[in-house]
Structure 1
């Protein structure tokens, strides 16, 4: 569970974490991999990060070494109103990185809360409760990993978030999937969360030897402009291997191209945050 450090409390510092949701209704785009490794990279450069695993498959939790048997309190219990998010938070092997783990129980949560008036706001309420607690050394970033579908879990994440980070695979149908997601974001902004913005699009599984990858990069940059991060995540076997060892790639092989790309992405996100605050 969470551990405190001897720093001023959250109330005294007035710290509000930036809440970023990693969303794409298409599977296999590197969404969970990005959540794990971006969270690790942010923690490595001094941020305190919470990953909220909202995918019933629980791959973000597994990829951070959280055994399924130890997930006694999960995001299912949080959304069902049976536990606070603080009760679910578990330490990872990465200093400064924590996870609210997921279990397969989440598969049934949509039916359980479908008739509740606050069904789309359950996660936002839970995170607000966490921020209201007097916690030493509060979180500076909350990353929410969504399932690869636009269901009530994803709507909860979008309603709770400040901004959306979109992992986009360098493949033929990338822009089609992006257009669908942008429509959903606009709908959530109109009906549930008027402050929601697109933080950025991160291009994943980039292969410089593949002409199609280069064309997709050009098309996405033309469509989304400066919303596309400069950093691209390359295809890298070490990134693919790391989850089977229950480790982020930065712990598995810090020197590989994938690890270095995620460190650059973390730095770029922090730089973008500074620019937003200064604007």
Structure 2
């Protein structure tokens, strides 16, 4: 008997989403830096902006003006992702080919950044639709278009929410990163987001892999220290060591907002004397943990290239920290 089943492309295994139910935690900034740093490791990366605020699009200079195609058109089937994808020139690794890796140059060749941008306004009308078909719209668009064949990594940046927009990202993404602003009010947002992802996996029977929690905008205050400790304790109790808070944490620094205002990656603002290198290397460490989860076969070549960079010991320690913190867990993720 002939097999009448439909064979469909599935790119969930190469897709990561940055998830948090609370806004203002540095989620889109984290997504943007993962995109940039992964591309500088030689990956072709597609960023998808599902946030009506369009922060990822604004950071990369790709916001779609009124009347031009955007991710909103993709979600309603009016355009293919290939028609919408934009190439942010200042985010291409090769534009900084003459700079060392720690200063924003490429570590390995072949990397590229493309963005499916949010529209200047009106995206919330599309992303707030409920129902299974609407929530699977991104998954469907990626599968039908087969756009994932052209990329090594896809990064989805949804809005801060636990509503239908969260499920748009979850249906399309197997891997999850949870940004946490280390303030007491944000901890409840983290637990709500993680529990929502687990419930989704259980009900949909789709795998989710929690790469880890990333502490953002960290201050050396008692509140931040206690919140970080509480987050780690909750993750340890909830997941028995399977998912934790990644090291290193990302402190609050003006370089991050300066890079955002200039619409360039944070690494591009590292000076010849390595001023700001500690912040850039922390984002690079998170990106390395993402690459290790999504495409581990690339790690050997990446490690060899990093060794040749002859980085200062303190910078090298930061870069490897996220991998080391993941290696301390019992497994590298959580699956329902």
Does the 8 Å CA contact 1:74/1:88 hold for their aligned counterparts? yes
Q: Name 1:211's counterpart in structure 2.
A: 222
How is 1:64-79 mapped onto 2 (pairs within 5 angstroms)?
A: 64-69=60-65, 72-79=68-75
SS in 1 for 2:65: helix
Which runs of 5 or more residues in structure 2 are unaligned? 1-9, 93-111, 237-242, 297-326
The corresponding residue for 2:17 is 21
Q: Is residue 131 of structure 1 aligned with residue 128 of structure 2?
A: no
- Residue 67 of structure 1 deviates from its aligned partner by 4.6
Match of 1:11 in 2: none
**1:179 pairs with 2:191:** yes
Aligned mates of 1:139, 1:217 — CA distance in 2? 34
What residue in structure 1 maps to residue 133 of structure 2?
118
Q: How does 1:25-174 map to 2 (within 5 A)?
A: 25-69=21-65, 72-93=68-89, 94-95=91-92, 96-103=112-119, 104-110=121-127, 113-114=129-130, 118-131=133-146, 138-174=150-186
Q: Is the 8 A contact 2:50 2:127 kept in 1?
A: no
With 161-170 and 251-260 compared, the bigger mean Cα shift is at 251-260
What CA distance in whole angstroms lies between the structure 2 residues aligned with 1:153 and 1:146?
Answer: 7
Deviations 1:105-145 (CA, angstroms, capped at 9, x unpaired): 2121156x54x651111011112234367x5xx21111110
Computed over aligned residues only, the root mean square deviation of the Cα atoms, in angstroms, reads 2.5
SS where residue 24 of structure 1 aligns?
Answer: coil
Match of 1:118, SS?
helix
- State the 1:52 CA deviation: 0.3
Assess if the C-alpha contact under 8 Å between 1:16 and 1:131 holds in 2: no
Contact 2:63 2:118 in 1 (8 A): no
Gap change, CA 1:183 and 1:17, over 3 Å in 2? closer
* Aligned counterparts, 1:257-272, within 5 A: 257-272=278-293
Specify whether residues 179 and 82 from structure 1 end up closer, same or farther in structure 2 by C-alpha distance, changes over 3 A only: same
Instruction: Tell me if structure 2 keeps the 8 A contact 1:41–1:263.
Output: yes
| Residues 168 and 139 (structure 1), Cα distance of their counterparts in 2 relative to 1, 3 Å cut | same
Alpha-carbon distance in 1 for matches of 2:64, 2:13: 27
For 1:157 and 1:246, the matched residues in 2 are separated by 24
1:237/1:80 Cα in 2 relative to 1: closer, same or farther (>3 Å)?
A: same
1:71 and 1:101 in contact (8 A); partners too = no
CA apart distance, 1:151: 2.4
Alignment of 1:225-236 (within 5 A): 225=236, 226-236=243-253
Kindly indicate which of the two structures has a greater share of residues assigned to strand: 1
Unaligned ranges ≥5, structure 1: 1-13
Whole-angstrom CA distance in 1 between matches of 2:33 and 2:147? 28
Q: Quote the residue 2:321 is aligned against.
A: none
Residue 193 of structure 1 deviates from its aligned partner by 5.0
User: Is the Cα–Cα contact under 8 Å of residues 21 and 146 in structure 1 kept in the other structure?
Assistant: yes
Distance in 1 (alpha carbons) for counterparts of 2:170 and 2:75: 14
> Contact conserved, 2:82 with 2:147, CA < 8 A, in 1?
no
CA distance in 2, matches of 1:270, 1:181: 22
Mark the structure with the bigger radius of gyration: 2
Cα distance in 2, alignment partners of residues 52 and 19 from structure 1: 10
3-state SS of 1:166 partner: strand
